[in-house]
């Protein structure tokens, strides 16, 4: 009995421990011992390549039966690949990735969730998220797909540097992504020190780079402009051969050092003004010295016939004045030609200026549009972040509820177990009591049997005594009154005996119903005295 009372503890303690360990393990899984590991660097690929975006669970954890997600938030729908229990859910996937993404199914059981993207395009550039909802873990992979639209550099003559006696070359190349670098090299492959590289980013996200360099005569005249993107191993280059005599011209001729449109226009304006001034002065001078040729010179180039007439007229003049006149006419024609050329140049430049302004306005508009888009994207991101935080909170509260209910269940289980144990104890004590009462019953029965045996022996004695007495009676021929009375008494005694033994059998009968074991001895007790009684 004492052993049974201590029962509840040894029995339910191991169970409580295992429940505790289970809860700890569950917490570990929820609170994230396992981590998702992505690459530490930006992945760079060329258009048309197949790439693998690495992502795996550490420590290794079988993910072949759970939901896995690869997404890119800038897409709509954002799913690049989703699978549940190794089965891809293709319906969720963004159509632009149809048939192009896959995971390595055999690797899932080792926690390897790496994603393969086939034939990447420049549109695939972006940040990808590898996400395991059960673990609430994520990793990010940045992919850059290089543009395949890069153009070969174009080298043009930009101006002349009089101070250094060199020519200024400009190089430009467009259609690059990611941003490239621009290098100038001389014929021996040495780097030339150039001005800063100007970088422009177009609305298609592609970069245009340009740079200027001043090439001096001491440089070998075979010049190379190279544009390269190191991460993608892309490179384009163009050579230009600057003729030797070009440098001689630059050192002797009056040259333009700065070729910005405004200063160029100013110079040209000055030139025009001075030429006009010169021409007017010459004209006045001519009018004063010789009035007659003036009429002719006005239409000097109308036709060749007029020219011939004029020559004939000029022949009549004195040689010296004729020569003077011819020289004067020549000069005037030259000046007029230059004037015309200069005016043409001016018009061209003005047109270019106008174009430049238009382009500027367009670019400003584009810039504004880009800014608008940026703010929109930022707003979207903010919203997504908020919804995600909301979700996180909900999940956390659910988690809390779950652990609460688990502990509640445990408490109930403990209570049930202790109830069961008390019931067991009661049963046990009941059993013990039954055994005890049976033992007591057995004792009563054996006592009864003993009394029966003693009664039987007494009966036997009485019988013998009676037999003796009978013999004595038979031997005596006459009976005295006293003897008669004695005889009757003894007969009465003998008659009461069977009644006693019947009482005994009445006492025995209730135990007969309870215990079969006791049946046989009872029969013996019942049977013997009855037979003896009947014999009388
Ligand atoms: C995951 O699987 C890919 C494809 O088999 C493999 O290239 C990559 O190394 C694996 N990553 C890890 C962490 O095992
Ligand atoms: C200029 O140099 C490049 C290599 O730097 C070479 O390929 C090219 O043939 C050279 N051109 C001339 C005209 O020497
Ligand atoms: C670029 O070239 C280097 C060595 O030449 C190589 O290690 C690297 O993998 C290449 N990168 C790409 C993206 O092809």
Alpha-carbon gap, residue 431 to 304, rounded angstroms? 151
17: in domain: no
133 lies in the same domain as 162: no
314 lies in the same domain as 281: yes
Atom of ligand 1 nearest to the CA of 110: 14
440: in domain: no
Q: Order the strands of the 67-71 sheet from edge to edge.
A: 43-46, 137-146, 126-132, 67-71, 79-84, 87-88
119: in domain: yes
Q: Is 107 within 8 Å of 122 (Cβ atoms)? A: no
434: in domain: no
* Exposure letters 403-420 (e unless 16+ CB within 10 A, then b): eeeeeeeeeeeeeeeeee
Q: What is the pLDDT of residue 332?
A: 82
* Opening angle at CA 496, ends 492 and 499, nearest 5: 155
Q: Order the strands of the 181-185 sheet from edge to edge.
A: 181-185, 222-229, 234-241
192: in domain: yes
213 lies in the same domain as 268: no
Tens digits of per-residue pLDDT, 337-368? Answer: 888 888 888 899 999 999 999 999 999 999 99
- 230 CA to middle of ligand 2, Å? 23
124 lies in the same domain as 170: no
Tens digits of per-residue pLDDT, 494-505? Answer: 676 655 555 555
> Residue 395 is inside which H or E element, if any?
helix 319-475
Alpha-carbon gap, residue 466 to 476, rounded angstroms? 15
- Is the shortest distance between the CB of 44 and ligand 3 below 6 Å? yes
Alpha-carbon gap, residue 54 to 116, rounded angstroms? 9
268 lies in the same domain as 229: no
- 481 CA to middle of ligand 1, Å? 132
Q: What is the β-pairing status of strands 166-176 and 207-216?
A: antiparallel
Q: Report the half-sphere exposure of 152 (CA within 13 A, side-chain side).
A: 6
Number of compact structural domains in the chain: 3
Which protein residue's CA is at the shortest distance from atom 2 of ligand 2? 187
191 lies in the same domain as 239: yes
141 lies in the same domain as 205: no
Q: Taking the CA atoms of 108, 112, 118 and 121 in sequence, report the sign of the dihedral they define.
A: positive
Last residue of a domain, one of 332, 356, 381: 332
502: in domain: no
Last residue of a domain, one of 203, 221, 255: 255
Q: How many CB atoms lie within 10 A of CB 385?
A: 11
300: in domain: yes
92 lies in the same domain as 141: yes
134 lies in the same domain as 207: no
Which protein residue's CA is at the shortest distance from atom 7 of ligand 3? 233
Peptide bond connecting 135 to the previous residue in cis, omega within 30 degrees of 0: no
Atom of ligand 3 nearest to the CA of 230: 1
Boundaries of domain holding 226: 154-255
- Is the shortest distance between the CB of 52 and ligand 1 below 6 Å? yes
- 245 CA to middle of ligand 2, Å? 19
213: in domain: yes
Atom of ligand 1 nearest to the CA of 112: 1
Atom of ligand 2 nearest to the CA of 224: 5
> Residue 337 is inside which H or E element, if any?
helix 319-475
Q: What is the pLDDT of residue 477?
A: 61
Alpha-carbon gap, residue 534 to 527, rounded angstroms? 11
What's the pTM? 0.41
Last residue of a domain, one of 332, 353, 369: 332
Q: Is 359 within 8 Å of 328 (Cβ atoms)? A: no
Give every residue of the chain whose pLDDT is below 70, as ranges: 1-32, 219, 248-277, 279, 284-322, 477-480, 483, 494, 496-536
Q: Is 149 within 8 Å of 142 (Cβ atoms)? A: no
- 183 CA to middle of ligand 2, Å? 16
141 lies in the same domain as 72: yes
Q: Name which of 210, 185, 181, 207 is nearest 195 in CA terms.
A: 210
- CATH number for the domain spanning 127: value is 2.60.40.10
Which protein residue's CA is at the shortest distance from atom 5 of ligand 3? 233
251 lies in the same domain as 266: no
Which protein residue's CA is at the shortest distance from atom 12 of ligand 1? 112
């Amino acid at each position: 009995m004492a052993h049974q009372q201590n029962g509840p503890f040894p029995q339910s303690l191991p169970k409580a421990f295992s429940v505790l360990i289970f809860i700890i393990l569950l917490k570990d899984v929820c609170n994230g011992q396992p981590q998702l590991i992505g690459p530490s660097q930006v992945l760079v690929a060329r258009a048309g390549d197949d790439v693998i975006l690495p992502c795996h669970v550490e420590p290794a954890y079988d993910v072949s039966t759970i939901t896995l997600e690869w997404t890119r938030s800038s897409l709509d729908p954002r799913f690049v690949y989703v699978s549940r229990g190794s089965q891809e859910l293709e319906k969720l996937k963004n159509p632009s990735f149809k048939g192009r993404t896959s995971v390595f199914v055999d690797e899932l059981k080792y926690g390897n969730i790496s994603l393969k993207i086939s034939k990447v395009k420049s549109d695939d550039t972006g940040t990808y998220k590898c996400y395991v909802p059960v673990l609430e873990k994520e990793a990010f992979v940045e992919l850059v797909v290089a543009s395949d639209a890069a153009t070969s550099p174009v080298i043009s003559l930009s101006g002349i540097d009089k101070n250094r006696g060199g020519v200024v070359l400009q190089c430009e190349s467009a259609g690059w992504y990611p941003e490239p670098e621009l290098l100038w090299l001389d014929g021996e492959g040495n780097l030339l020190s150039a001005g800063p590289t100007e970088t422009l980013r177009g609305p298609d996200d592609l970069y245009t780079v340009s740079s200027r360099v001043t090439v001096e005569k001491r440089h070998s005249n075979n010049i190379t402009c190279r544009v390269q993107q190191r991460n993608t191993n892309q490179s384009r280059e163009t050579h230009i051969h600057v003729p030797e005599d070009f440098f001689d011209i630059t050192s002797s001729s009056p040259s333009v050092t700065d070729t910005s449109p405004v200063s160029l226009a100013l110079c040209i304006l000055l030139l025009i003004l001075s030429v006009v001034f010169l021409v007017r002065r010459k004209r006045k001078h001519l009018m004063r010295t010789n009035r007659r040729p003036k009429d002719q010179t006005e239409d000097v180039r109308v036709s060749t016939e007029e020219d011939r007439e004029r020559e004939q007229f000029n022949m009549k003049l004195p040689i010296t004045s004729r020569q003077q006149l011819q020289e004067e006419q020549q000069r005037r024609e030259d000046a007029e030609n230059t004037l015309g050329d200069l005016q043409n140049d001016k018009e061209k430049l003005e047109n270019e200026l106008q174009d430049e302004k238009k382009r500027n306005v367009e670019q400003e508009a584009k810039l504004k549009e880009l800014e608008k888009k940026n703010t929109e994207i930022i707003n979207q991101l903010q919203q997504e972040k908020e919804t995600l935080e909301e979700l996180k909170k909900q999940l956390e509260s659910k988690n809390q509820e779950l652990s609460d209910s688990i502990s509640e269940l445990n408490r109930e289980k403990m209570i049930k177990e202790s109830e069961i144990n008390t019931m067991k104890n009661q049963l046990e004590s009941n059993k013990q009591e039954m055994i005890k009462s049976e033992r007591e019953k057995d004792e009563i029965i054996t006592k009864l049997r003993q009394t029966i045996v003693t009664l039987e022996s007494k009966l036997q004695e009485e019988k013998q005594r009676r037999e003796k007495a009978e013999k004595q009676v038979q031997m005596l021929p006459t009976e005295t009154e006293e003897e008669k009375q004695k005889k009757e008494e003894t007969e009465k005694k003998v008659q009461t005996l069977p009644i006693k033994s019947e009482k005994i059998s009445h006492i025995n009968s209730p135990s007969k119903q309870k215990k079969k074991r006791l049946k046989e001895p009872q029969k013996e007790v019942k049977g013997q005295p009855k037979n003896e009684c009947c014999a009388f």
